[in-house]
């Protein structure tokens, strides 16, 4: 193909073409990859939400990166305009103690929704023993008494804890927020301490993996001490030497610190966040450096204490034995995960009261 003199010269003056070829190929490949990154973006990049000042590492994985699968099954229906002269539920049905001021059509609409949210498989008979015979008035089943109290609790949350359930937008809560199509919500809890029979005191509440301790060796009584009882949530002290004795009333102990860690770990798992969602990690102790979410979470603590003491624990005598706790036979109680299910916002911020004004307030709704 080439002249003989050219082939002869090449044979006498050999040249290594592989090195330059590899270099050119590598440079070309790098340029190609750079062009892809510029035009399409980094496929391995994780989205983050900034929770505090830049440069402090206060960021968490994007809260919207995963979708709550239960939202796809959420049932809602707009209220019906009240027809002129339409009677109220209390004027037609017997023994309507909570929703008597609701118009008949919307009363039935809400009852249907509660059935779908709470007992889709069991139907109306889950709360009304005589549903098949058309008798809805009797209180023969404990589930009806519990459901009535839960409706009152939902109205109470939406009225008295607006600062928590409407911190960012009007969303509120309804029955589906906790139940998600199940008669018993997931992530309810009972008091289980002591967790060992062979020890007493400090060791009796920890060093055994439990649901309450989030499968760690931390104390398993944090939910009871902080979301039922009203104890101070804090580390024991910032100083290495503190005057006083753990036997002194109100003296903050090292175990109180461990109990606080147990609760904070529970918070993080319940909301799918980390510490810097609420705290500035450079100064956990400084209330002046917390994020706005800290105030929302703090109000949530008071709300959980209220719900457990006012509504949930007093239902203990109503429940059958199989629904009570394994150690103290106490009623099932609520905490952060009961509503949040591992997400920063329950149902990821879906407005739970827009179509359900009957649950947003104890006052009878005014239908347009």
pLDDT in tens, 195-234: 888 877 778 999 888 999 999 999 999 999 999 999 989 8
Does 11 score more than 80 pLDDT?
Answer: no
Interval 26-32 mean pLDDT: 83
pTM above 0.85, yes or no: no
- pLDDT for residue 65: 61
The answer to which of 149-158, 187-196, 244-253 has the lowest mean pLDDT is 244-253
Interval 325-331 mean pLDDT: 96
Give residue-wise pLDDT tens across range 44-91: 556 666 666 666 667 666 555 678 899 999 999 999 998 888 999 999
- pLDDT for residue 62: 58
Give residue-wise pLDDT tens across range 334-363: 999 999 999 989 999 999 999 999 999 999
Q: Which CATH homologous superfamily contains domain 47-175+353-368? A: Photosynthetic Reaction Center, subunit C, domain 2 (1.10.468.10)
Higher pLDDT, 262 or 198: 262
pLDDT band at 35 (very low <50, low <70, confident <90, very high): confident
Q: Is 341 left (phi over 0), alpha (psi -120 to 50) or beta?
A: left
pLDDT band at 316 (very low <50, low <70, confident <90, very high): very high
Higher pLDDT, 238 or 286: 286
Q: Which residues of 244-273 are buried (b: 16+ CB within 10 A; e: fewer)?
A: eeeeeeeebbebbebbbbbbbbbbbebbbb
d(CA 331, CA 316): 5
Sorted by where each begins, the domain ranges of the chain are 47-175+353-368, 187-340
Phi, psi of 140 (to 5 degrees): -70, -35
pLDDT band at 292 (very low <50, low <70, confident <90, very high): confident
Higher pLDDT, 60 or 127: 127
- pLDDT for residue 48: 64
- pLDDT for residue 57: 62
Architecture of domain 187-340: Orthogonal Bundle (1.10)
Does 176 score more than 80 pLDDT?
Answer: yes
Q: Which two tokens stand for residue 336?
A: 């952060």
- pLDDT for residue 198: 80
- pLDDT for residue 318: 97
CB of 270 closer than 8 Å to CB of 340: yes
Question: What mean pLDDT is reported for the chain?
Answer: 88
Q: pLDDT > 70: what percent of the chain?
A: 89
- pLDDT for residue 263: 96
Encode the chain in three state secondary structure. CCCHHHHHHHHHCCCCCHHHHHHHHHHHHHHHHHHHHHHHCCCCCCCEEECCCCCCCCEEECCCCCCCHHHHHCCCCCCCCCCCCCCEHHHHCCCCCCCCCCEHHHHHHHHHHHHHHHCCCCHHHHCCCEHHHCECCCCCCHHHHHHHHHHHHHHHHHHHCHHHHCCCCCCCCCHHHHHCCCCCCCCCECCCCCCCCCCCHHHHHCCCCCCCCCCCCCCCCHHHHHHCCCCCCCCCCCCCCCCCCCCCCCCCCHHHHHHHHHHHHHHHHHHCCCHHHCCCCCCCCCHHHCCHHHHHHHHHHHHHHHHHHHHHHHHHHHCCHHHCCCCCCCCCECCHHHHHCCCCCHHHHCCCCCCCHHHHCCCCCCCC
Q: Do domains 47-175+353-368 and 187-340 have the same CATH topology?
A: yes
């Amino acid at each position: 193909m080439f002249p003989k003199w050219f082939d002869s010269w090449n044979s006498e003056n050999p040249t290594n073409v592989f090195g330059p070829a590899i270099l050119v190929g590598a440079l070309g490949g790098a340029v190609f990859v750079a062009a892809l990154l510029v035009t399409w973006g980094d496929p391995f990049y994780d989205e983050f939400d900034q929770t505090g000042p830049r440069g402090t590492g206060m960021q968490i994985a994007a809260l919207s990166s995963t979708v709550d699968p239960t939202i796809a099954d959420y049932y809602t229906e707009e209220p019906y305009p009240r027809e002129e002269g339409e009677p109220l539920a209390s004027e037609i049905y017997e023994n309507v103690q909570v929703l008597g001021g609701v118009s008949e059509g919307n009363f039935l609409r809400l009852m249907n929704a509660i059935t779908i949210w709470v007992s889709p498989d069991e139907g109306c008979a889950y709360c009304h023993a005589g549903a098949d015979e058309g008798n809805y008035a009797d209180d023969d089943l404990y589930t009806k008494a519990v459901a009535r109290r839960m409706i009152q609790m939902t109205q109470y949350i939406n009225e008295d804890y607006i600062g928590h359930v409407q911190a960012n937008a009007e969303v509120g809560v309804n029955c589906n927020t906790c139940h998600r199509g199940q008669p018993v919500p997931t992530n309810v809890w009972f008091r289980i301490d002591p967790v060992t029979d062979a020890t007493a005191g400090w060791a009796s509440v920890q060093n055994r993996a439990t649901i309450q301790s989030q499968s760690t060796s931390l104390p398993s009584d944090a939910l009871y001490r902080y979301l039922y009882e009203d104890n101070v949530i804090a580390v024991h002290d910032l100083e290495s030497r503190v005057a006083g004795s753990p036997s002194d009333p109100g003296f903050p102990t090292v175990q109180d610190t461990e109990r606080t860690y147990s609760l904070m770990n529970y918070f993080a798992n319940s909301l799918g966040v980390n510490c810097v969602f609420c705290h500035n990690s450079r100064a956990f102790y400084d209330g002046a450096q917390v994020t706005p979410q800290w105030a929302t979470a703090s109000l949530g603590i008071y709300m959980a204490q209220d719900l457990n003491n006012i509504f949930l624990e007093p239902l203990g005598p109503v429940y059958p034995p199989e629904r009570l706790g394994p150690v103290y036979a106490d009623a099932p109680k609520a905490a952060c995960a009961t509503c949040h299910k591992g997400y920063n916002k329950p149902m990821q911020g879906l407005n739970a009261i827009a179509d359900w004004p009957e649950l947003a307030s104890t006052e009878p709704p005014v239908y347009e």
